[in-house]
Amino acid sequence: MGFVKEFKEFALKGNVMDLAIAVIIGAAFGKIINSFIEDIITPLLLKPALDAANLTDIGQLTFLETVKYGNFLSAVISFLIVALVLFIIIKAINATKKKKEEPIIAPVGPSKEEVLLAEIRDILKAK
């Protein structure tokens, strides 16, 4: 019974649940990203090349009618666009972290002048 209880505590921890939700949302969001890239970005970028080759779909690009390099080219473009977007997002996150992490430099202690002035003040008070 102890094993089941430990597993239940582990599986229902916030971190595990957050990770599971992130994976599910990531998979669903991946379909949206793929559709955006395959159906919107790639045709816009490659329209002149497709028109010159009398093709309507990048998947129709072939070499020797057997090697479908069009699909590979589409996957490479998809990867580059996703990598660029992730780079921009991470760069923005790092920029906000740097602003938050800048330590406020507090004075370590009184300067030599302040110490001397305090000593003089104390001597004068004592007289």
pLDDT value at 74 more than 80: no
Dump pLDDT digits (tens) for 77-89.
778 877 887 888 8
DSSP 9-46: HHHTSHHHHHHHHHHHHHHHHHHHHHHHIIIIIHHHHH
Tokens of 104: 């406020």
The count of domains in the chain is 1
Q: What average pLDDT does range 72-98 have in this prediction?
A: 82
Q: What average pLDDT does range 14-35 have in this prediction?
A: 80
Q: Residue 49: which domain range?
A: 2-126
pLDDT value at 95 more than 80: yes
pLDDT value at 112 more than 80: yes
Can you give the CATH number for the domain in which 113 is found? 1.10.1200
Q: What average pLDDT does range 103-122 have in this prediction?
A: 81
Dump pLDDT digits (tens) for 41-71.
777 777 777 777 777 766 666 777 777 777 7
Q: 3-state DSSP call for residue 7?
A: helix
Distance from CA of residue 21 to its chain's centroid? 17
